[in-house]
């Protein structure tokens, strides 16, 4: 939605303005999801209607710029409120722009306009296609793209570290931001501001992002000398599994809502299984001395994966196993039970996605020179 739209300040109008669009590139691993556009429009509304939140967002940008040795943006003040647009054409002018023409997700222009222009490309579930970031950078640097701006900045806003950005592509970015930092900022701003309609909406959006797994999650540390902490840890893991399930459109449609427990090999196994039977599950195995193994399995059908691809996954703590009755992934997290949940949650999301893609025949064995889809037999 353009900043000059009469309804730009209305969050419902912003969300309603979303129009389903195809993936921008056939090279994208996944099609663009509606969630990305909804989150982007909600973020734009928050930036335009809460100066404290906007100032905090600029601080996040400056922290990212500092990490790359870049000059910081000027601090935001009520008197220098920027112009905020979403889904804006590469040239900054929507005249004669076709429905399939290239667009930036979120564009923030300084007041006055010539000071700087900030482009934020948002990702939630989908990844970047080959050369996608380089294309954005090239378009942004073009003479006919926002010619009034003297400084142009390109950043990406992603859900977690597992959004793959090739090194050559990453060099084109001025900063990398995370939705979990935005969620935390929304919570803090809504609590610090006086009670108002804006602070209420900020809190609602923060809760929505949290429900989608876009927040900092802490797990209690486990200690063999204090069994109660083990109980708290298992409760948190069950909560983590449920959040992974609820945040994924692919998983929420096939998995049950709550995990189940059972003994397994002298340890404790907890998993959320699929609704139609014990064929697909995401879960963990906790054994003494408190080693944690995350697992995602499909107990039906056999799959053929190249050894090269298996070794590539193994380097990412994703050991692939296949046997006559099924296939799946396992990862060791014995050194990760320190109160942090980001790596563990990201592992579950990645492993579950891979199992579904392999099962559906949509995964490409990119590590293999043959570039072929895995074959499934029954």
What mean pLDDT do residues 310-322 have?
Answer: 90
What mean pLDDT do residues 314-327 have?
Answer: 88
Same domain flag for 96 and 26: yes
Structural domains counted in the chain: 2
User: Considering the domain boundaries, does residue 219 fall inside one?
Assistant: no
Same domain flag for 241 and 202: no
pLDDT in tens, 260-286: 887 776 677 888 888 876 688 888 887
Which of 160, 186, 211 is the last residue in one of the domains?
211
Same domain flag for 157 and 43: yes
Of 23 and 133, the one with more pLDDT: 133
Same domain flag for 36 and 180: yes
> What does 153-177 look like in DSSP terms, one character per residue?
EEEEEESSTTS---HHHHTT-SEEE
Same domain flag for 190 and 48: yes
Same domain flag for 199 and 245: no
Question: Could you give the 3-state DSSP secondary structure of residue 70?
Answer: coil
Note down the domain range covering 353: 227-377
Q: What is the CATH number of the domain that holds 314?
A: 3.30.1460
User: Considering the domain boundaries, does residue 132 fall inside one?
Assistant: yes
User: Considering the domain boundaries, does residue 332 fall inside one?
Assistant: yes
In this model, does residue 369 exceed pLDDT 70? no
What does the H/E/C string look like for 291-315? EEEEEEEECCCEEECCHHHHHHHHC
Of 247 and 174, the one with more pLDDT: 174
pLDDT band (50, 70, 90) for residue 371 = very low
pLDDT in tens, 178-208: 999 999 999 999 998 778 888 999 999 998 8
* Alpha carbon distance 122, 136 (integer Å): 13
Predicted structure pTM score: 0.73
User: Considering the domain boundaries, does residue 187 fall inside one?
Assistant: yes
Same domain flag for 55 and 185: yes
pLDDT in tens, 79-90: 778 999 998 888
Of 225 and 263, the one with more pLDDT: 263
pLDDT in tens, 276-314: 766 888 888 876 655 678 888 888 777 788 889 999 899
Burial 236-268 (b: 16+ CB within 10 A, else e): bbbebbbbbbebbeebeeebeeebeeeeeeeeb
* Alpha carbon distance 267, 34 (integer Å): 40
* Alpha carbon distance 122, 44 (integer Å): 11
Same domain flag for 78 and 104: yes
Same domain flag for 180 and 258: no
pLDDT in tens, 101-139: 688 999 999 988 888 999 999 988 777 777 889 999 999
Same domain flag for 178 and 247: no
């Amino acid at each position: 939605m353009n900043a000059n739209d009469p309804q730009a300040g209305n969050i419902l109008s912003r969300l309603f303005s979303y129009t389903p669009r195809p993936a921008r590139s056939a090279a994208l691993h996944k099609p663009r999801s509606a969630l990305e556009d909804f989150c982007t429009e909600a973020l734009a509304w928050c930036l335009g209607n809460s100066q404290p939140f906007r100032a905090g967002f600029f601080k996040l940008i400056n922290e990212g710029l500092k990490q790359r040795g870049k000059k910081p943006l000027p601090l935001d003040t009520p008197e220098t409120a920027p112009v905020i647009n979403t889904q804006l054409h590469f040239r900054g002018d929507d005249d004669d722009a076709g429905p399939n023409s290239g667009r930036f997700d979120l564009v923030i222009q300084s007041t006055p306009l010539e000071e700087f222009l900030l482009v934020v490309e948002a990702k939630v579930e989908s990844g970047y296609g080959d050369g996608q970031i380089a294309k954005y950078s090239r378009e942004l640097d073009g003479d006919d793209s926002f010619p009034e701006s003297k400084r142009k900045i390109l950043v990406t806003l992603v859900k977690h570290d597992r959004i793959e950005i090739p090194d050559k592509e990453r060099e084109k970015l001025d900063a990398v931001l995370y939705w979990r930092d935005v969620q935390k900022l929304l919570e803090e701003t809504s609590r610090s501001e006086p009670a108002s309609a804006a602070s209420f909406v900020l809190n609602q959006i923060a809760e929505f992002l949290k429900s989608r797994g876009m927040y900092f999650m802490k797990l209690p540390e486990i200690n063999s000398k204090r069994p109660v902490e083990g109980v708290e840890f298992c409760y948190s893991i069950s909560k983590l599994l449920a959040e992974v399930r609820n945040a994924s459109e692919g998983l929420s449609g096939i998995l049950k809502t709550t995990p189940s427990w059972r003994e397994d090999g002298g340890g404790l196994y907890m998993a959320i299984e699929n609704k139609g039977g014990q064929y697909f599950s995401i879960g963990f195995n906790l054994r003494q001395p408190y080693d944690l193994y995350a697992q995602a399995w499909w107990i039906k059908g056999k799959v053929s994966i190249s050894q090269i691809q298996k070794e590539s996954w193994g380097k990412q703590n994703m050991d692939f196993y296949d046997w006559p009755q099924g296939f799946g992934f396992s990862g060791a997290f014995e050194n990760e039970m320190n109160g942090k949940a980001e790596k563990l949650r990201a592992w579950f999301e990645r492993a579950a996605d891979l199992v579904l893609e392999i099962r559906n025949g949509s995964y490409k064995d990119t590590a293999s020179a043959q570039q072929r889809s895995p074959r499934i037999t029954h």
